[in-house]
Amino acid sequence: MGIVALPSFPVVLVTVDENVMTAAAFHFYSFDPPHVMVGIRPQALTYQLILKKHEFGINIPTTEQLDIVQTCGAISGREENKFQKTGLTPNKGRVIDSVIIEECPVSLECRVVHEVQFEGSHRWFIGEVVAAQVDEQYSRDQALMFWMRQYREVGKVLLEVEKRK
Ligand SMILES: Cc1cc2nc3c(=O)[nH]c(=O)nc-3n(C[C@H](O)[C@H](O)[C@H](O)COP(=O)(O)O)c2cc1C
């Protein structure tokens, strides 16, 4: 079970159509061209919605939005409208048809270019980032991390290296 030894993952709010869910199985896939990947359990409404819409929004919450993250990760959009429940504002995406979240400092609009064919616990979607909105004030230090039932902040900087040529 070495997999439980992995360090924290970044927490994001995934928006598809008019629904939102919390995901920690998220990372970049390619910097250039910009692509990201997200792992969604097939039981989630979000999984069905991604299959239908072929797109998703990645909205990055801050540590101050922990309660909202919890709610969006505990309730399914099949049971309740999570935008109404949390008070989050669904904004229309610039490029995608699905909503993105006004209160999140970063929103990436993604079009699905690939679904990994593997019947594991999470189904992985690779998305091309077709639009991005980032608050000028945003610092990555505000990000929220999660792994093995623990929410964490980003740790301290140990060393900053020069940019690779
Ligand atoms: C911190 C946290 C991280 C989560 N990460 C994921 C994830 O990466 N993938 C996933 O499918 N579900 C994840 N979940 C669970 C979903 O958010 C949850 O099942 C949600 O109710 C699904 O909503 P939906 O049915 O509206 O899509 C996470 C929940 C929490 C609280």
Q: Is residue 32 part of a domain?
A: yes
Residue-wise pLDDT tens digits, 16-73: 999 999 999 999 999 999 999 999 999 999 999 999 999 999 999 999 999 999 999 9
In which domain, by residue range, is 25 found?
8-153
Q: Return the ∠ at Cα 146 (arms to 96 and 61), rounded to 5°.
A: 40
Q: Is residue 165 part of a domain?
A: no
> Residue 117 is part of a domain; what is its CATH number?
2.30.110.10
pLDDT of 164: 84
Q: Is residue 159 part of a domain?
A: no
pLDDT of 63: 97
Q: Is residue 89 part of a domain?
A: yes
- What would the mean pLDDT of 114-119 be, rounded to a whole number? 95
Number of domains within the chain: 1
pLDDT of 153: 96
- In the predicted model, is pLDDT for residue 1 greater than 80? no
Q: Is residue 3 part of a domain?
A: no
Percent of the chain with pLDDT over 70: 99
CA of 74 to the centre of ligand 1 (A): 7
Q: Is residue 1 part of a domain?
A: no
CA of 130 to the centre of ligand 1 (A): 24
Q: Is residue 158 part of a domain?
A: no
- Can you give the pTM of this predicted structure? 0.97
pLDDT of 134: 97
In the structure, what pLDDT confidence band is assigned to residue 116 with cuts at 50, 70 and 90?
very high
Q: Return the residue whose CA atom lies nearest to atom 4 of ligand 1.
A: 23
Q: Return the residue whose CA atom lies nearest to atom 6 of ligand 1.
A: 23
- What would the mean pLDDT of 114-134 be, rounded to a whole number? 97
Q: Which of 13, 16, 22 to mutate to test the pocket of ligand 1 (most atoms within 8 A of CB)?
A: 22
User: What is the b/e burial string over 111-141, where b = at least 16 CB atoms within 10 angstroms of the residue's CB?
Assistant: bbeeeeeeeeebbbbbbbbeeebeeeeeeee
